[in-house]
Structure 1
């Protein structure tokens, strides 16, 4: 699923793709634990029908999971679930449109609260094995999409207080790390220092901002929307019953697909060009 109005980036940009791949490297959302994280590579079908490869890593020591995929237009998506801190992180590295004066790539990070029933535990993920690596997987369940209003900025220099993974995952997104006020209140109650969070333009001002797709001047602020999809991830454990066992036992996983749309403030429309076309 590509962002609304996003033009396909020509494939003749191997240098930019190599740059982004080098920035991504091995999935960097996990790996803080002493042992090497368990990795699973899966071929998956995207909502638009195209096929790509996902890399899933689980680190049971750090109690975290990461998912990485590269979309056909070159965008690199990373998702991290930090179970210890109740944090999930979404990062997008978007190829810039050089003909429109953009830099080589643009990075966005969105941080929200993690509910533990959203994805299987890290220990269970670490035990998954790929029986048929050539198979193309399609999610068994399409979960309802989330539309999230990101009205708080995250201070990158203090980000480790929220999650130790934030520094690695969002290093390229220094000034574009966003979260929601309702999630901030939850983390503050759990003892996260308030210095992690910074205000963005007041909600009343942001409501009045034009949508970036309707803003006339590229140098003026507007309300931007970015959409992404996790095409395939293990969202639930399956349990089986047997006459030989008195209690149900784990016997597999259920896979899900879920889409997210993030609305957030940008100081100039030039930073939201994917959202400018009808």
Structure 2
């Protein structure tokens, strides 16, 4: 059964955006979607069964600089236990007042990830069936990291879907895109996103029955905010025009 909740969330610049949270306890996955202040659409899909997280960003292109209407990126990482509440708990979430503007109770540290492996779109369904839908616009831009690949290989995932990308150690003159003057040269691009509000933990309360026996029960959620920065190889700087010195 799919359940959807829409919450109003305050962005760092003070603007209010609507975030959609969907839970499907049947396929044991959840997804969150929000539009950021610069117009990008960010989606996080958590596939609990496969222990996979998929971040997708649809970034508005700069048409006057020869870019397409939007650019899609997919970053796939390992989903750890207790990062986010289970899908069946998410499916039961309700809010008393849908007009309330929410701000996360806890800010979790920024995670900086080096995405050094490309994922083959047509084979990606073996890693998570959601890659096929979520990353359809980002077929040529699905990234993960070597340490997560090792974990999935141990679980029996087919290794032929992964391709290690060029690193600074292979190409000594490979620079960060923001330092690279030539638009057509390869470089290391950096993209940052933030999940402004998500249910990261269940809260438990204690109750005492007539005989004095104490029991605990779920009585709500704790909300978190978390930022991510992904570094990854691009064959030309033109694919990374947001990452410039301003």
Q: TM-score range by the shorter chain?
A: over 0.9
Q: Verify the 8 A CA contact 2:74 2:135 in the aligned structure 1.
A: yes
1:123 partnered with 2:91: no
TM-score, L = length of structure 1: 0.85
1:73 to partner: Cα distance: 2.3
What residue is the counterpart of 2:106 in the other structure? 141
SS in 2 for 1:191: coil
Shift of 1:195: 1.6
Query: How big is the shift at 1:211?
Result: 1.1
SS of structure 2 residue aligned to 1:192: coil
CA distance in 2, matches of 1:206, 1:256: 39
Gaps of 5+ in 1: 1-34
**C-alpha contact 1:237 1:253 (8 A) present in aligned 2:** yes
The equivalent of 1:276 in structure 2 is 244
Label 1:207 to 1:166 Cα distance change in 2 as closer, same or farther (>3 A): farther
Q: Which residue of 1 aligns with 2:205?
A: 240
| Residues 196-251 of structure 1, C-alpha deviations (whole Å, 9 max, x = no match) | 21121145136741111110110000110000000000000000011126321100
Which deviates the most, 121-130 or 44-53? 44-53
Aligned length: 243
SS for the counterpart of 2:39 is: coil
Q: Contact conserved, 2:167 with 2:233, CA < 8 A, in 1? A: no
In 2, Cα distance between the equivalents of 1:237 and 1:121? 9
Q: For structure 2, which runs of at least 5 residues remain unmatched after alignment?
A: none
Partner of 2:141 in structure 1? 176
Trace 1:54-73 onto structure 2 (pairs within 5 A).
54-73=19-38
What is the rounded CA distance, in whole Å, between the counterparts of 2:171 and 2:35 in structure 1? 31
Q: How far apart are 1:172 and its partner, in Å?
A: 0.3
Cα gap change, 1:208/1:48 in structure 2, threshold over 3 Å: closer, same or farther?
Answer: farther
Equivalence for 1:162: 127
Task: Give the secondary structure class of the aligned counterpart of 1:143.
Answer: strand
Which segments of structure 1 move beyond 3 Å, counting only runs of 4 or more?
Answer: none
The 1-side partners of 2:198 and 2:130 are apart by: 20
TM-score by length of 2: 0.96
Residue 124 of structure 1 aligns to a residue in which SS? helix
SS in 2 for 1:145: strand
